[in-house]
Amino acid sequence: MAVETGVYTTAALRGIYGRKAFKRGVEYHIMMAVAIMMMKFEAISSDLPLGPVRLQCQQLKEALHKRDPDMAKIYEDLEAFYGSHIEENENEEIGELASFFNQYLDQVEALLQIIAACRQGDWLSYLAALDNQIKYFFAADLLNYARLMPLHLAQMNELETEDPLTWEALKTGTFVVTKSYIPFTSLFTDQNLEQKIKDLKGHGGLVGLTQDESSLDRLVHTTPYLARIVKNFLSSFPSSSATSTGEHYQLSGNVSVRSSQNAVKLRSCMQMHCLGNPFVITAPLKSIVSVAIIPEAVKPDILQYPEKGQKAYEAFVNDRLLTTSTQSIWDPMKKLKLKQFINWTQKQRSRLVARSSNYERTASSWGDV
C-alpha cells in the first residue's frame, strides 16, 4: 500500500523491513498507526454529537501548532470525555481484521514507549517499556534477544537494592547520550556510537582496518582529529538549510504535515482494499493486498501473537531465572514458529519447477549460440 499510494518506494521499504533504516522505519509505522487510528476514530465519532467535542479537538490542534500553554488543559478535558463516553464503546464486538489492527496499534505503542523513555532519559519508564517489549522477541523467535533481555532486565532491577548509587545515577538519565540542549533528543548509546562511526568514516577518512598494529594505532588516534578539522572547516561556510529554531526536528518544517497527508492516503487505500472501514463492518482476517482469506488454522497465531509471546516469556522466567528454576539460561530454546502474513501459505515444490529450470538453461544456451 505504501508503494501504491506513492508514500515510499520499493527500495525504501526494503530498507525498512530489512531493519536498516531506523528513523524511516519509525516514521513509517507511525503513519500506518495514524491511518488506522483515523479509521477507528471515524467509526467511534460517527455517534458523537457535532457540538463541543469536535470544537475542542479543533482547538487542541490549533493550540499544538501555536505551542499554546492551554493545550494541556484542553487535552485533559478531552481525555476525561474519552474515558467517560468513548472508551467503553471500544470494547464492543468487532471483526477479526479490526482486532488485528488493534493488536498492531499496541505493538507500535510499545515501540514508541521505549523510544520516548530513551529520548527523555526516564530510567523507570525504560525498564517498564522494555518489559512490555520482550514478549515480541519470543513471538518473533528472536532467540538471542529473548534469552538475554530478561536477564538484563532482572539485573537492572536488582541494582536498586544491590547498588543504590548506580541506580540513582541511572535515574538521572546517564543511561542515554545527550548531545543537544533541545528536549526529547537523547539517544541510545549504540545509536550514538553508530553516528560517531559515521563521522569517522565520512570526515575522518576511516575506510577500513588493518592487521598492522602501528598503522591501526595511528589511524585510530588520527581519525578523530581529522574529522574535527573537517567539521570545523565546513561549519565556517553559511548553511544552505534553515537555521535551527531550538525545537525538535519533528516540530519544525513540514514533517508533521507530510506525515498527516501520507496517513490520509494510507487510510483511503486501506478502506479501498478492505471494501470499507473494518471498524464499522465485520471483516474477516485477510491479507489487505491480495484479499486472500486467512485459514482458520492460522488465525490463532496471528490474532493471539502477543499473548503467546507473553506466555513464553513468563515460562522462560519461571524455568530459568528464579532461584527454584531447574534449567540454565543457556539451555536450548525452542522456537514458537508462529504463522504470520508472510509465511502462512504452504509452499510445495513440484517436479515441474526443476523441468522448467532445465528448459530455461537450455533455451539460454541456444540463445547464446
Residue 169's pLDDT band, with cuts at 50, 70 and 90, is very high
Q: Report the share of the chain in percent with pLDDT over 70.
A: 83
Smallest Cα–Cα separation from 170: which of 240, 108, 118, 229? Answer: 118
Instruction: Give me the chain's average pLDDT, please.
Output: 81
Residue 332's pLDDT band, with cuts at 50, 70 and 90, is very high
Residue 313's pLDDT band, with cuts at 50, 70 and 90, is very high
Give the model confidence (pLDDT) of 79-125 as tens digits.
888 777 777 766 566 788 899 999 999 999 999 999 999 999 999 99
Residue 306's pLDDT band, with cuts at 50, 70 and 90, is very high
Is the pLDDT at 217 greater than 80? The verdict is no
Task: Between 95 and 135, name the one with better pLDDT.
Answer: 135
Is the pLDDT at 294 greater than 60? The verdict is yes
* Backbone torsions φ then ψ of 293, nearest 5 degrees: -70, 135
Smallest Cα–Cα separation from 183: which of 247, 240, 122? Answer: 247
Record the cell numbers describing residue 318, joined without a space.
519461571
pLDDT at 359: 40
Mean pLDDT of 244-248: 63
d(CA 180, CA 245): 13
Is the pLDDT at 358 greater than 50? The verdict is no
pLDDT at 231: 81
- The answer to whether the beta carbons of residues 303 and 96 sit under 8 Å apart is yes
DSSP class per residue in 270-307: HHHHTTS-TTTS---SB-TTT-PBPPTTTHHHHHTHHH
pLDDT at 366: 40
Is the pLDDT at 77 greater than 80? The verdict is yes
- The answer to whether the beta carbons of residues 363 and 356 sit under 8 Å apart is no
Burial grade of 7 (CB within 10 A; 0-12, 13-18, 19 or more):
buried
CA-CA-CA-CA dihedral for 205, 209, 211, 214, to nearest 10: 30
Is the pLDDT at 317 greater than 90? The verdict is yes
Is the pLDDT at 246 greater than 80? The verdict is no
Residue 216's pLDDT band, with cuts at 50, 70 and 90, is confident
Give the model confidence (pLDDT) of 13-22 as tens digits.
888 888 778 8
